[in-house]
Structure 1
Amino acid sequence: MKYLLSLFLILTLPLIVYGATESSTATPGQLISQQEMKQILDDYLMEQSMLLPQVDLHFKSMNLPDAYRVPTGRITHQVIPAKPGMIGSRRVTLMTRVNGQIISNQSIRIELEAIAEVAVPTRSIRRGEILDADSFELRFQDITKLKDPIFADDDIIGKQLKRSVRLGEPLQTNQVEFPPVIKRGERVVIQVQSMGLMLSAAGEAKQDGSTGEAIRVMNTNSHKEILCQVVAPGLVKVEL
C-alpha cells in the first residue's frame, strides 16, 4: 500500500508544479511602458525640430497613460499632433500597430514650448503704414499660440500693415502685405496681346492691385470693365 502511494505522488507531483509555474509567469505580447512612450514622443519632437531649425522645441510636460500591452509581432508607432507641425498642439495621438494592424490609440495631453526669434513692433503701428527696419526688432518669444510668426527681416521690410498692432505684439504673416502697385481710380495702360501683336488702350483701375494680381479695369473708350493682370505701376495686361 505504501509503495502504491509513493508511486502516485511521484507521477502526479511534476504535473502539478509545472501547471502552477506556467500560469503564473505567462505574459503574452509586449508591454509598452511609459518610458518607451516618452522616448517615442521625444524622437518625434526632434524630427519636427529639424524641419524648423529656427525654433527651439521642447516638452514642458506630458500626461502619459498607463503602460499597455500589445500582441507579439512587428510593432510600429505613429505620432499624430492635434495641429500640423506640432506647434500649438495640446494633445497628440500615439497610434500603435502590430503587423500593420492598429492595436492601440492613446490620446496624450502635452504642454509644449516653442522659443524662436520673431518680429515684434518697437512701437504701436497703424494700419496702412509701410514697415522699415526701425518699425520692429527680432526678439525671442514663445510662439506656441502664434499661427504664422515672421522670422526674418526680408519677410517684412517694405510691406504694408493690414491692421493696427500694439507695441510688443508679435507680427504675423497674415498681417502684412506688399503695398498695391496700382490703386483704385488710377489711370493705367491696358496692353492686349493677340496673335503676336501688342495693342494698348487707356483704362481706369477699379481695384487696388499688387504685381501679378488680377484686378478689374474699365476701358476708357468703351467704358467696359475687363479683368487684367497687374504688370507694373500704371501697366496692366490682358491675354486673348
Structure 2
Amino acid sequence: MKACAVLLLSTLAAPSATGAAAPAAAPVQQVSADAIARTVEAELRARLQAAGRTQASVKVAGRIDDQTVPAGALSTVVGTIAGRWPRARVGVPVQLRVDGAVARSLTVWVESQDLRDVPTYSADYPARRGGEGIALATAQVDMNCCAGDALESIDGVQSLRLKRSVRAGQPAMAADFEVIPDVQAQQPVRIDVARGAVRLSVPGVALRDGRVGERIPVRADDGERTVVSRVTGKQKVQVDE
C-alpha cells in the first residue's frame, strides 16, 4: 500500500510527456539612447535648415533610456512639436515603430540656440513712433526668442513706424513695423470742403489712420463736430457734400 502511494505521488509530480511545451519568448531588439538622440537631432536640424535657420544649433538635453521593442523593421518617427518652434527648450514627441506599428512612444527634451547679429532697439519706444525717431544698434541675440524675421537692415525703417511698443535690447523684427499711412490719427490734417462751386480749406485733426481713397472721421480745429472725409493725400482729406 505504501509503495502504491509513493508511485502515485511520483506520477503527479513528474511533467506530463504529452503536455504542451512552454511558449518561446517573442524576439526583441534594443534601441540605444544614443541612436534615438542622433535621429532626433538630425531631424530637427533639417527642419531648422528648411526654415532658413541656418545658424541654429540643437542638442538633446534630457535623459533618454535605452528602449526594448519587438524584433522587426524599426523606424524612428519624430513628431510635430506643439506650440512655437524653434524655442530655447522643447519636448519632442517620438515614436519607435516596428513593421509600421507603434511599439513605443516617448518625449525627448532638446535645447536650441540661434545666435545671430541683428538690429536691436537702443531704447524703449512707443507704438506709432516713426522710423526716423528710432535708434538701432547691432547685437548678438538668440533668435529663438522671437517668431518671424529680424530686420535685414537698420536703414530701411525711415518710411515706417512701429505697430507696437518695444523695449531696449529687443531685436528689431520686420513684423514690428508698418508703412506710415497717408493720414495719421491724432495728427493735423487739411480739410478741403467742396460744396457746389464753393471750395474752402480748414485745419483739423484726423481721428483715425487712413490711406488714399479711404473714408475716415476728422474734426475741424474750430468746431466739435466730427465729419467723415475721404483721404486724398498726405495729411489731406476732402469732405464731399
Give per-residue Cα distances to partners, 1:181-210, cap 9 Å, x unaligned.
Answer: 222474579xxxxxxxxxxxx9x9652135
Q: Verify the 8 A CA contact 1:58 1:113 in the aligned structure 2.
A: yes
Q: CA deviation at 1:120?
A: 0.8
| Residue in 1 that maps onto 2:145 | 145
Q: Which amino acid aligns with 2:167?
A: V
Which has more radius of gyration? 2
TM-score (norm 1): 0.61
Give per-residue Cα distances to partners, 1:44-87, cap 9 Å, x unaligned.
Answer: 12212322445422235521321112332353412332434333
Distance (Å, rounded) in 1 between the aligned partners of 2:212 and 2:112: 39
Distance (Å, rounded) in 2 between the aligned partners of 1:163 and 1:92: 33
| Residue in 2 that maps onto 1:163 | 165
Q: Which amino acid aligns with 1:163?
A: S
Larger deviation, residues 129-138 vs 59-68? 129-138
C-alpha RMSD over aligned residues? 4.2
Distance (Å, rounded) in 2 between the aligned partners of 1:172 and 1:94: 33
Larger deviation, residues 28-37 vs 68-77? 68-77
| Residue in 2 that maps onto 1:65 | 64
Spell out structure 1 runs of 4+ moving beyond 6 A: none
Larger deviation, residues 128-137 vs 105-114? 128-137
Q: CA deviation at 1:118?
A: 1.9
Distance (Å, rounded) in 2 between the aligned partners of 1:74 and 1:231: 67
| Residue in 2 that maps onto 1:207 | 208
Q: CA deviation at 1:94?
A: 1.1
| Residue in 2 that maps onto 1:13 | none
| Residue in 2 that maps onto 1:107 | 107
Distance (Å, rounded) in 1 between the aligned partners of 2:48 and 2:75: 25
Residue-pair matches, total: 198
| Residue in 2 that maps onto 1:135 | 135
Shift in alpha-carbon separation, 1:140–1:49, aligned structure 2, 3 A = same
Distance (Å, rounded) in 1 between the aligned partners of 2:232 and 2:54: 37
Shift in alpha-carbon separation, 1:33–1:164, aligned structure 2, 3 A = closer
Distance (Å, rounded) in 2 between the aligned partners of 1:225 and 1:208: 13
Distance (Å, rounded) in 2 between the aligned partners of 1:58 and 1:78: 17
Q: Which amino acid aligns with 1:179?
A: I
Q: Verify the 8 A CA contact 1:41 1:79 in the aligned structure 2.
A: no
Q: Return 5+ residue gaps in structure 1 as ranges.
A: 1-18, 190-201
TM-score (norm 2): 0.61
Give per-residue Cα distances to partners, 1:9-64, cap 9 Å, x unaligned.
Answer: xxxxxxxxxx9xx97xx672332211111111121122123224454222355213
| Residue in 2 that maps onto 1:193 | none
Q: Which amino acid aligns with 2:102?
A: I
Q: CA deviation at 1:111?
A: 2.1
Q: Which amino acid aligns with 2:75?
A: I
Give per-residue Cα distances to partners, 1:129-153, cap 9 Å, x unaligned.
Answer: 3225982133322122223451411
Q: Verify the 8 A CA contact 1:57 1:115 in the aligned structure 2.
A: yes
3-state secondary structure, aligned to 2:79: strand
% identical aligned pairs? 16
Q: CA deviation at 1:106?
A: 0.9
Q: Verify the 8 A CA contact 2:93 2:105 in the aligned structure 1.
A: yes
Q: Verify the 8 A CA contact 1:180 1:208 in the aligned structure 2.
A: yes
Distance (Å, rounded) in 1 between the aligned partners of 2:96 and 2:233: 55
Distance (Å, rounded) in 2 between the aligned partners of 1:183 and 1:208: 5
